[in-house]
Structure 1
């Protein structure tokens, strides 16, 4: 009896092994979604189940995707949909779902079967592939969209959901993406922090179960944890080698990203809007569109992944991503709330003397009944304070232009102070709970952008400033509060609030961008509280952190650089930290540089250095902003952080190195290997930003090196306690 049972089990395993290794049946459909290097392959089997059979390097011969075994999941999957392209809940699936609904008749199950698919050009070299799915028993449909950017090697994925049932259907979960990746081990790098300590990395091996990254902050959603990650397969993430998927969700509100190692030790992945307190009632005939999830798959480590995202962002997402940016001087650290016209116009001359393009007037310029002399009042009352600015913003714009620089302004239009005229006139415009004590974040509340009237008001704040001052050259858009008291007095569906708020925000941003398409806009949120590619569709740049200490910023900027290009990353020289101005300038130069300093307090050499650095930066910024970035030495692994930018023709590079350790005798002990150069070209290496009164230990105009030498043997930038920051220009020799 036992022998018979064992023999039958052997035959079952043999049969299963044959099935697992067998190619797909000839009647299966293969939907191949490809970029220059990557392929995502979805197979539709005889039961019309869409399942993912490949995500990784694309094959040279597309017909061979059909040879991938019919079940490459390394074991028996009783449901046959562990690797579903969009996993429904309530039926035979008992793992983490991508979508969960309750139908109009109360049925909590969903079954999604393939109907058809199509691919078509989507402009700028992109291709859009759409897969249409439907529940066989209900008039409920989902379309999966995959937009590929072949040259940039990026895939943008989202879903649309609709139905024609008799009554509303409740969406409990509605992911943007559902991916499936088999590997032996999985290493997730995610990022965490708080105000002034953003983007701290944490790498961990994923084990069986579900790892969730999420936020419930409403606004400033990235404050504790951004919706961006690196996923390395089979070994921890390396800079220049290994398979790495870099992903980020283009959404400015609550999100959830779940990584599930299934019972067969394969990785299932879902990303989208956080279902927390967000059940969405979808009326018949209406369509719900999820935000986009963006990812790139690299076989050359973290570096290859980030360069792909940078190229994509500059070309396809960030406004004027291949254009210019303005260097600015901000008054905040010079005056805080204590200023008047005389003080501000005097600072214009400081900006002109320094050599910046623009002066930015920060917080404190508005409010009359409740003057904005501290952060407890006035948000919402966007009229010039008559005591501080008796001649209005127009006078400042004109005076700045007479001085020879442009003028910009700070706004925080989404927020309201309880002590404000706006709050007194429109308490129903404010997100707050009835019959509860108000609870404030930074002495303010959030306006209800799910309300169209509030959307009109917020747009009007920006539009009025621009209409009255058409030559205004820059807006810093801040957002300092999270959503406490999450209730809308006007939204008929309370559980729609978190979603509708972001949609309302995007409507306002879209209106501003449409009317003022060339207006430079900084996305600020008390630092990096809202840095995502949903908002960056409308903003030219973002503020990574209020922490501008030069040493701290090396780490913060390093980690943002995995996902966002230098041209969008605002790095300002301020009085935070104890480093000399050369160090702070060299750190700020590896992005979009600006100043928050009191120019009049600079000594003669500091001013001379800063003026020359700005001229150097103006010459080099095309390489820094448009070049490919290579991280050469990690600040987490040694005494020195080092990275470089190389332009497209590989005839010029800018190389930054910084001392990040104060240990005895710390520094660059040997050569650092460069990257991205042409091995056949010959280069000179010259030091920049040499402080007045000092000499470089490197500059020698007669010495040249082959690209092969610099990338194989390397070069020592001679970083130590006396040379804590070194900037080198690598130029093709004539």
Structure 2
């Protein structure tokens, strides 16, 4: 009997332990997040890192932890979603004021379910509740198996009789373990987008945020990388790359604790944005996307880029159009005759689209500069006597497409729109208006304004049925942050973005295949929420090709090249070949006075468009490898390799700014098949030049990746494009 009782007790204890240690595995091909219910029904992070071969071993991880948190230990708990006012006194992901004024929230694990979306996607949903306050939080983990990417967000709901205030409501918090942590992020400024910084995360909280309302990446990027144990390199080290999918104010908190841990909390910035959640109303946070690589930053980038093309970027697997923009050719000074010549130039160049930029609208207050007309979206009859529809017809007759610039979220005080609808403008009661670029922001929290913006875009498509491209600009921050429409100003920053996204979703639903460029005084509005609606973004108003090498290099850590608009302009003193070669590392466009080009320069540009057509599939859809960085080398190099490893294109640029001998070591390639034989030849040569690159020998992929190949880039050969083809 004693043996039987002993066995029953052992079985009961085993069942209790199994129940207490219920494990939920969120995994991709190489990445795993193991969540467990502890003895107090808290959902904690048991493991986050490389996927284990045997799934049943995840439950063995937490017992090996150096720390054994007890009831009196306030800092070692590693909840999957930290709440404020309970036993965890670190930075919360969710902080609330209950309807009775209590600031506490204690979430207990209730249940989980897994939905297999398809062979590559899985959605895990976990329900947490605070039964004392009838408060619910659902955590969502959307995995992309082959991309090694996870999207995470939460839904917040309560069933109390009165409203609850959400004081902070992050999308996710992740707990990383390691001896040291290094944050790589990018600071921004006009013309200096994506300037890199890296620092060790020491004690305390490092916060990166935006309170700008629009153009939210103007000062800091909402994308980042964290390396564990030591700074990662391109091909070595464990690194997490993350990006918040939100085009409003954001907040990223990095808090180290207990020597060996880092908590990353990512979400909407709660600055001036306490949200009053009504009973039975569901609040959904933005998505936070991340990936982990154990082989350096390069693989993390490729994971995000592949995921973006396949699942997030609008039409990311499709083609793009090559553009000739008139901005730097004419600025606001043009008429029917000039535009007709520019249509001819577009055809001569071989580009697909002529993009008519700012200045085509406004009559009572003509848009002849940045001070007037914004908001009055009627064609300027003095400039375009035949109307905008006539220009669309002429473009079609000449064998090119027409695109238009718009900035429908903004208004000039000197406009008919401002005179007729002052209540549609964001401005603080009784205070002087503050202008940025002579304009104010329309109140997109107001449904009437949302409808106006949508109608503005839709009317253009009705007036110009041939309209084939939209450049959507945003040149102002939100300075006068008060909505005449909203009763609760704490909701303003959220409702503004919700209104904007509602308009964008309607436009995209109505015109699913029309390319749209996201522009905001440079690359200050690039995030994966916006890129659900836009096919591409303007990376910087700084089009100096030398600077662009660095800017485009940094964008590539998070965004695919197909999304990055690069134009050949007259900025900088580099040869036109250098400027064009740099612009080819993305979505090529031109902003040149084509009619003023020398015969050789024109011939080169025409040839470059044709060459680009033969390699753009690699740039847009290939796997990107950063071979040699521009910060520490004379020659910078980036490769794009086809998924089947049969071909690649390699861009090489001489970036030394001081006198150097022309002798360079071979550059090791990446991503090729070591067993295949390849030919290497230079392409996109300037007329009348001969390449010193010998295209006769063939090389194994093994040789090219271990020994490399010298592109012979020098101060006299500043840009070299190599085409690598399997034999």
TM-score tier, shorter chain, comes to over 0.9
1:26 aligned onto 2:18: yes
In structure 2, the residue matched to 1:448 is 443
Matched residue SS, 1:326: coil
TM-score, normalised with respect to structure 2: 0.96
Deviation at 1:74, TM superposition (A): 4.4
- Name the CA shift for 1:123/1:391 in 2 (closer, same or farther; >3 Å): farther
Deviation at 1:69, TM superposition (A): 2.4
1:356 aligned onto 2:348: no
1:35 aligned onto 2:28: yes
In structure 2, the residue matched to 1:628 is 623
In structure 2, the residue matched to 1:108 is 103
In structure 1, the residue matched to 2:371 is 376
> Does the 8 Å contact 1:74/1:264 carry over to 2?
no
Q: Please list, as runs of the form range in 1=range in 2, the aligned pairs for 1:332-411 lying within 5 A after superposition.
A: 332-411=327-406
Structure 1 runs, 4 residues or longer, greater than 6 Å off: none
1:68 aligned onto 2:66: no
Deviation at 1:300, TM superposition (A): 1.2
Deviations along 1:7-62, one digit per CA (max 9) or x if unpaired, are: xxxxxxxxxxxxxxxxx943311010000110011111121100111111000100
Unaligned runs of 5+ in 2: 1-15
Q: Please list, as runs of the form range in 1=range in 2, the aligned pairs for 1:70-219 lying within 5 A after superposition.
A: 70=63, 72=65, 74=67, 78-79=73-74, 82-123=77-118, 125-219=120-214
TM-score, normalised with respect to structure 1: 0.95
Q: State which of 711, 716, 733 in structure 1 corresponds to 2:705.
A: 711
Matched residue SS, 1:172: strand
Deviation at 1:121, TM superposition (A): 2.1
Unaligned runs of 5+ in 1: 1-23
> Does the 8 Å contact 1:156/1:293 carry over to 2?
yes
Deviation at 1:72, TM superposition (A): 2.5
In structure 1, the residue matched to 2:9 is none
Take 1:466 and 1:708, find their aligned partners in 2: how far apart are those partners?
53
Deviation at 1:669, TM superposition (A): 1.2
In structure 2, the residue matched to 1:59 is 52
Take 1:260 and 1:82, find their aligned partners in 2: how far apart are those partners?
14
Deviation at 1:123, TM superposition (A): 4.6
Take 2:76 and 2:376, find their aligned partners in 1: how far apart are those partners?
55
In structure 2, the residue matched to 1:303 is 298
Take 2:571 and 2:130, find their aligned partners in 1: how far apart are those partners?
58
Take 2:496 and 2:177, find their aligned partners in 1: how far apart are those partners?
37
Q: Please list, as runs of the form range in 1=range in 2, the aligned pairs for 1:572-587 lying within 5 A after superposition.
A: 572-587=567-582
Q: Please list, as runs of the form range in 1=range in 2, the aligned pairs for 1:466-615 lying within 5 A after superposition.
A: 466-615=461-610
1:724 aligned onto 2:718: yes
Cα RMSD between the aligned structures? 1.4
Deviation at 1:224, TM superposition (A): 0.7
In structure 1, the residue matched to 2:6 is none
> Does the 8 Å contact 2:188/2:221 carry over to 1?
no
Matched residue SS, 1:306: helix
> Does the 8 Å contact 1:639/1:666 carry over to 2?
no
Deviations along 1:285-321, one digit per CA (max 9) or x if unpaired, are: 1111000000000011100000011110111011221
Deviations along 1:597-642, one digit per CA (max 9) or x if unpaired, are: 1001110110111111110100111111110000000111111111
Matched residue SS, 2:62: coil
Q: How many residues matched?
A: 711
Take 2:572 and 2:558, find their aligned partners in 1: how far apart are those partners?
26
Take 2:125 and 2:117, find their aligned partners in 1: how far apart are those partners?
12
Take 1:45 and 1:480, find their aligned partners in 2: how far apart are those partners?
50
Take 1:592 and 1:698, find their aligned partners in 2: how far apart are those partners?
27
1:687 aligned onto 2:679: no
> Does the 8 Å contact 1:640/1:668 carry over to 2?
no
Take 2:117 and 2:336, find their aligned partners in 1: how far apart are those partners?
50
1:50 aligned onto 2:32: no
